[in-house]
A and B are shown apart, each in its own frame.
Chain A
């Protein structure tokens, strides 16, 4: 009897695991069973989001900001003046982008770096710029101005992928950093 119960339990677990692996990692069961260590940030895997956001700048993964920030940023009236640019979108396109951003915002993510960003903004703050997130600031504050702002191949901290060579994959760790014109930089 005991043996049968054990087998049933095993089968149930296996079934649950397989199902979790089949779906994406944005759930408790997905997180529990995935082979990915989920140390970083979920990469952008929505075509519409990648295309529309990436038309003018690096398409920042939603896991770099909490949902309260995305709600502010992606309101239609906010997009009409998006850091001085007109970034209006058709309603259907906007709806898909909002959905993707809200679902994968930092506090909904199981990825470690997103968890840290969620904690840094758990006080309810809604930074409009990723560079204003306390965690992100702390991670970059030792890097001198000449390497970022005054570096012609970087120009701004907002150009993530100028130095983070794996940014498109959602990977931001030190080993993947390569600061243009400063090949010897080492954290």
Chain B
């Protein structure tokens, strides 16, 4: 009897997704800390989100160029005008379900926006901002 209950519990545990969005963010943040980052704050994340950088072509770029000022709202691709779904955890937790996807977009978008990869500290702060919104 007990072993059967145990078997059912085990199967239920295996069937549920391993990580929720929040857990995945926390897991990534712990990786970033191992890479030298310290504590993460939503305030710093917000600053980074809104920080305008002028690139070599004299063009102003920020996360907000495509995502918009409010991460809880949809954005629009700066060139193609394709709508971009919201980024904030509270409105679109699906954004934080795939580690590979998060890494891919951090790499691409940091390079496009700031002309370099983001530091582990910056990534953790931005994730913190998305988590608390």
Binding site for B on A (CB under 8 A): 56-57, 80, 83-90, 155, 158-159
Instruction: Please give, as numbers and ranges, the residues of chain B lying within 8 Å of A90 by CB-CB distance.
Output: 100, 104
In the complex, which of the residues B77, B104, B107, B111 contacts A56, with contact meaning CB atoms closer than 8 Å?
B77
Q: How large is the interface on B (under 10, 10 to 19, 20 to 34, 35 or more residues)?
A: 10 to 19
Is the Cβ of A159 less than 8 Å from the Cβ of B104? Answer: no
Question: Would you call B79 an interface residue if the criterion is a C-beta within 8 Å of the partner chain's C-beta atoms?
Answer: yes
Is the Cβ of B100 less than 8 Å from the Cβ of A85? Answer: no
Q: Mark B72-89, 1 if CB is under 8 A from A, else 0.
A: 000001011110000000
Instruction: Please give, as numbers and ranges, the residues of chain B lying within 8 Å of A56 by CB-CB distance.
Output: 77, 80, 82
Is the Cβ of B108 less than 8 Å from the Cβ of A87? Answer: yes
Q: What is the chain A residue whose CB lies nearest that of B115?
A: A86
A selection of 16 A-B contacts at a CB cut-off of 8 Å is: A56-B80, A57-B77, A80-B111, A83-B79, A84-B79, A85-B79, A85-B108, A86-B108, A86-B111, A86-B112, A87-B108, A88-B108, A88-B111, A90-B100, A159-B80, A159-B81
CB interface residues, B 29-52, toward A, < 8 Å:
none
Q: What is the chain B residue whose CB lies nearest that of A158?
A: B80
Instruction: Please give, as numbers and ranges, the residues of chain A lying within 8 Å of B109 by CB-CB distance.
Output: 86
The 7 A-B residue pairs with the shortest CB-CB distance in the complex, in nearest-first order: A86-B108, A86-B111, A57-B80, A86-B112, A56-B80, A56-B77, A88-B108
Q: What is the chain A residue whose CB lies nearest that of B57?
A: A84
A65 to B79, CA, bound (A): 22
Q: Mark B103-132, 1 if CB is under 8 A from A, else 0.
A: 010011101100000000000000000000
Q: What is the chain B residue whose CB lies nearest that of A84?
A: B79
Is the Cβ of B80 less than 8 Å from the Cβ of A88? Answer: no
Is the Cβ of A88 less than 8 Å from the Cβ of B107? Answer: yes
Instruction: Please give, as numbers and ranges, the residues of chain A lying within 8 Å of B104 by CB-CB distance.
Output: 88-90
A80 to B111, CA, bound (A): 9
Smallest CB separation, A175 vs chain B (Å): 26
A159 to B80, CA, bound (A): 8
Smallest CB separation, A178 vs chain B (Å): 18
Q: Mark B55-82, 1 if CB is under 8 A from A, else 0.
A: 0000000000000000000000101111
Instruction: Please give, as numbers and ranges, the residues of chain B lying within 8 Å of A57 by CB-CB distance.
Output: 77, 80, 82
CB interface residues, B 4-43, toward A, < 8 Å:
none
A86 to B82, CA, bound (A): 16
Q: What is the chain A residue whose CB lies nearest that of B104?
A: A90
